[in-house]
Amino acid sequence: MKYVLKKLLSCIITLFIVSFLVFAAFALIPGDPALSKLGTNATQAALDAMRHKMGLDRPFLVRYFTWLFDAVRGNFGNSYSYSMPVASLILDKIPITLTLMVYSMILMVVISVPAGVYASYKEDTPVDRVIQIANQIVMAIPPFFSGILITLFFGIVLKLFTPGGFVSLNANPLKFLGFMFFPALAVALPKSAMVFNLLYTSLNGEKKKDYVRTAYSRGNRSKTVFFSHMLKNASIPTITFLGMAFADMIAGSIIIEQVFGIPGLGRILLTSIQNRDYPVVTGIIMLIAVTVIISNMIVDIIYKIVDPRVDA
Amino acid sequence: MSKLLHVEDLNIEFHDHLIPETVVYDFDLDMEPGEIVGLVGESGSGKSMSALAVAGLLSRHDMKKRGVIEFEGKNILSCSRSELRELQGDEICMIFQEPLTSLNPVKKIGWQVEEGLKIHTDMSPEERKKRAIKALEDVEIEDAQRVYDSYPHELSGGMRQRVMIAAATIGNPKLLIADEPTTALDVTVQSQIVELMKKINREKKTAILFISHDLSLVSALCERVLVMKGGYVVESGSVKEIFESPKEEYTRKLIDAIPKCGSTEDLVENGEPLAGMKDINVSFIKRKGKNKEKVHVLKDISLDIYEGEILGLVGESGCGKSTLAKTLLGLIKPDTGHVSAKFPNTQMIFQDPYGSLNPSKTVGFIMEEPLRNLTDKTPEERYALSKEMIEKVGLSEEFLQRYPSELSGGQRQRVCIATALMLGPKLIIADEPVSALDVTIQAEVLKLMMKLHMEMGISFLFISHDLRVVHQMCDRIMVMKDGEIVESGDRVKIYENPSHPYTKELLKSAGLGPGGVK
């Protein structure tokens, strides 16, 4: 418990630093939100007035701390282009993107772990080789392309879902989940190939370890040696990768949302960057940072549970 | 009484290359219940292979076994996997060489000790726990309850080996196969483990097949010995016979390789110290969560090394020997005190010849590295010098093109020595230079160091936990315990008349002590 609290504290400090960097980056990069809001024909006076109204003429640190204190209370300011609070804009979309991410994560584990264990169990047999080849192919296909293939195959040929026919969670939860399965699969496939590879390699590495020989010398069945001795040891590097993959998925989902026409965070992020809608962009980046930091923290905690050698 | 184990004409072949390679030829062995038999030989002599075959653990499909292995009349070679499993961990148990890696790092000790019972009996969990604690107590672990709930990494090497023995003997097996169980341990711990195995044999009437490359340990434990070389049993008989009248050249070589005491000429100390340290204190900050703990590793150490001498530094692992060496070399900055050693006049050889050479570079590249960094010699000069040095350590010029992975342990340590010679040092610090090597190779490397000492006048600071090796090599000896030098002086004085209790204990566990050679 103390370990968790300590991790939490270090996360908060990290977040604070990230928030400063993000805010500073948007204050430093060229481009004027007032200009992009009023258009290039606006007079200097109108621009100055707009800057004043948006609070852009105040000193940088004042702006940062005003924003920070508001942000801590859940107020990320108003979007320039959507003219609504950033918080509610993002909150609307979080369930969609989060579902996509969690869904992909589950698919990733469900696909890669059994495949990795099975292939390693059957090392150097034809079954193993077939899985290896399939894995190479899947790994080589980027998500946006597998997204297109999935749309073509499951959507148009098999008609299992309507391409572009997004159903919102509130309208029909079941249909929503049904639709989301396919983009989640597209995100999950290449990553599960990597998880598979990692697990397969570390399982095969464990086979040569001395403690495995010890386990056999006690009269264990091969299956028991595999599941009760090796799997936990081999899962240690895999857990690290799963954590990184989850954090990475939020970026991957931006592209997939475009391919499948899902109105998630990715779409707002892209339009807001084009419109120099900085409050929205900062808000989303902070959200990504929080996701990354939290998933890292969870990995650290799982790590500690799985591997007793990790120091508190 | 019928035989416990009967092995006849056992041949083991590997088939993973084009030409099958035989690793064990016509191995015969008979063991009575409760007997202790030693199996001696260098690594690669086939002794571990034979033992693994007896334990039914050689199941690789690229391996062929011929012959008979009968355990209580049951032929192990023709057993099915499930019949074998009945025996493994119940009637036949094994202890392995590396207690550090032979335990599963993510499982608690208790779980691992009980595993045999879980597989072979239908005892209740409470009963199993009771038996496991009893087994841990039987191997003289004082804090059995705490150890039961610990993980392997929380225990020392010696403790882990005790745990392995507890796990192997919990089900009262009829045969215990111990494959080099003491090789990775300190010398004091070694003798404790041997005592423990004697006790188990006495109390539980367990027959023990003890595999080792150390003839002196085997002679302390076993009644009968088999000597193996290149896959053949070259000699067998009672310990007494083998020691008193070895028939084979190889057996004699093994016996001679046991470091004996009193074979070096004393060298006179010269006046001027070559290197030294005065009032050295070194401490590390050890972080454990929030608490920073200051660990005082070296306490007020002063020493001088004179030209032309070999100074021995002995002590158990963890006493600060290596820290002292690194401080002398300037790799660690002391908190207080003064070091007077001049780089590159001082060079170092490390313990692990496997880990201390970069595997992706050729031997020639590694050897020339100090010259490239510190001198402006031309490539031709560098090559000529590395050729000279590699020949000096008894290897040929062609080794310069090879990679470390293509060399044996002894050859690697020779390369390390040759590299240390490149800058013409006056003093070489050798940190456990032979501990990782086989006993016959140990003797060769020690001979080489002696030769360099005699021919080139190089002084050595020789760090070791093996008192016999130190006695053979050194003129002067310092004994270290917990960061302090507890005793120092002339070799003869220390071995004949130790004054500190710790020195006495060390000598006793090495089978040495007042009176000289055992």
Q: What is the pLDDT of residues A215-268, one digit of tens each?
A: 988 888 888 898 889 998 998 888 888 888 888 887 778 888 888 888 888 888
Cβ pair B87, A219 in contact under 8 A: yes
Cβ pair B226, B40 in contact under 8 A: yes
Task: State whether A274 and A162 are in the same domain.
Answer: yes
What is the pLDDT of chain A when averaged over all its residues? 86
CATH code at position A248: 1.10.3720.10
Query: Where among A43, A72, A101 does a domain terminate?
Result: A72
Query: Per the domain annotation, does A250 fall within a domain?
Result: yes
Cβ pair B418, B396 in contact under 8 A: no
- Picking from A153, A212, A179, A190, the residue whose alpha carbon sits closest to that of residue A99 is A179
Number of domains in chain A: 2
Task: State whether A284 and A180 are in the same domain.
Answer: yes
A307: nearest CB among B55, B57, B106: B106
Distances (CA, A) of A129 to A110, A172, B63, B115: 20, 42, 23, 34
| Closest A-chain CA to B55 | A217
Query: Per the domain annotation, does A311 fall within a domain?
Result: no
Query: Per the domain annotation, does A80 fall within a domain?
Result: no
Query: Where among A72, A99, A126 does a domain terminate?
Result: A72
Task: State whether A172 and A302 are in the same domain.
Answer: yes
Question: Cβ separation of A216 and B88 shorter than 8 Å?
Answer: yes
Query: Per the domain annotation, does A77 fall within a domain?
Result: no
Cβ pair A185, A256 in contact under 8 A: no
Tell whether ipTM is more than 0.90. Answer: no
Q: How far is B227 from chain A (nearest CA, A)?
A: 25
Q: How far is A201 from chain B (nearest CA, A)?
A: 18
Task: Give the tokens for residue B300.
Answer: 């007020």
Question: Cβ separation of A209 and B101 shorter than 8 Å?
Answer: yes
Task: State whether A64 and A182 are in the same domain.
Answer: no
Query: Per the domain annotation, does A79 fall within a domain?
Result: no
Question: Cβ separation of B106 and A233 shorter than 8 Å?
Answer: yes
A217: nearest CB among B94, B151, B153: B94
Query: Per the domain annotation, does A301 fall within a domain?
Result: yes
- Please list every residue in chain A whose beta carbon sits closer than 8 Å to the beta carbon of residue B85: 219-221
- Residue in A125, A218, A230 to test binding to B, most B beta-carbons within 10 Å: A218
Task: State whether A107 and A54 are in the same domain.
Answer: no
Task: Give the tokens for residue B332.
Answer: 């660690």
Cβ pair B340, B504 in contact under 8 A: no
In terms of residue numbers, what domain contains A14? 2-72
Task: State whether A286 and A204 are in the same domain.
Answer: yes
Q: How far is B152 from chain A (nearest CA, A)?
A: 9
Say if strands B63-71 and B5-14 run parallel, antiparallel, or are unpaired.
antiparallel
Task: State whether A66 and A94 are in the same domain.
Answer: no
Task: State whether A193 and A65 are in the same domain.
Answer: no
Kindly state whether B55 is in contact with chain A, defined as any CB-CB distance less than 8 angstroms. Answer: yes
- Please list every residue in chain A whose beta carbon sits closer than 8 Å to the beta carbon of residue B84: 219
State phi, psi for B391 to the nearest 5 degrees. Answer: -75, -35
pLDDT at B288: 64
- Residue in B91, B92, B104 to test binding to A, most A beta-carbons within 10 Å: B104
Kindly state whether B106 is in contact with chain A, defined as any CB-CB distance less than 8 angstroms. Answer: yes
Query: Per the domain annotation, does A226 fall within a domain?
Result: yes
Q: How far is B407 from chain A (nearest CA, A)?
A: 22
Tell me how far apart the alpha carbons of residues B462 and B449 are, in angstroms, rounded to a whole number: 10
Kindly state whether B115 is in contact with chain A, defined as any CB-CB distance less than 8 angstroms. Answer: yes
Kindly state whether A221 is in contact with chain B, defined as any CB-CB distance less than 8 angstroms. Answer: yes
Secondary structure letter of residue B266 according to DSSP: P
pLDDT tens digits, one per residue of A200-214 = 999 998 988 889 988
Tell me how far apart the alpha carbons of residues B58 and B48 are, in angstroms, rounded to a whole number: 10
Kindly state whether A174 is in contact with chain B, defined as any CB-CB distance less than 8 angstroms. Answer: no
- Please list every residue in chain B whose beta carbon sits closer than 8 Å to the beta carbon of residue A7: none
Task: State whether A153 and A265 are in the same domain.
Answer: yes
Question: Cβ separation of A218 and B102 shorter than 8 Å?
Answer: no
Query: Where among A27, A42, A72 does a domain terminate?
Result: A72
Which residues in chain B come in under a pLDDT of 70?
A: 1, 16-17, 59-62, 184, 186-188, 257-272, 288-290, 342-344, 512-518
Lowest mean pLDDT among A1-5, A133-137, B480-484: A1-5
State phi, psi for B398 to the nearest 5 degrees. Answer: -65, -20
Task: State whether A131 and A233 are in the same domain.
Answer: yes
Task: State whether A267 and A155 are in the same domain.
Answer: yes
B90: nearest CB among A210, A219, A312: A219
Task: Give the tokens for residue A271.
Answer: 């339009």
Cβ pair B97, B180 in contact under 8 A: yes
Which residues touch B99 (CB under 8 Å, ≥6 apart)?
A: B157, B158, B160, B161, B163, B164, B181, B184, B185
Tell me how far apart the alpha carbons of residues B501 and A160 are, in angstroms, rounded to a whole number: 83
- Please list every residue in chain B whose beta carbon sits closer than 8 Å to the beta carbon of residue A211: 101-105
pLDDT at B174: 92
Q: How far is A232 from chain B (nearest CA, A)?
A: 7
Query: Per the domain annotation, does A114 fall within a domain?
Result: yes
**Helix H segments across B205-278?**
215-221, 239-244, 249-257
Cβ pair B136, B144 in contact under 8 A: yes
Question: Cβ separation of A213 and B86 shorter than 8 Å?
Answer: no
- Residue in A211, A220, A225, A236 to test binding to B, most B beta-carbons within 10 Å: A211
Distances (CA, A) of B173 to B166, B176, B201: 11, 7, 11
Kindly state whether B91 is in contact with chain A, defined as any CB-CB distance less than 8 angstroms. Answer: no
pLDDT at A106: 94
Tell me how far apart the alpha carbons of residues B259 and B514 are, in angstroms, rounded to a whole number: 17
pLDDT at B17: 65
Task: State whether A189 and A262 are in the same domain.
Answer: yes
pLDDT at B264: 36
Separation of CA A62 from chain center: 32
Question: Cβ separation of B57 and A213 shorter than 8 Å?
Answer: yes
Question: Cβ separation of A220 and B98 shorter than 8 Å?
Answer: no
pLDDT at B266: 39
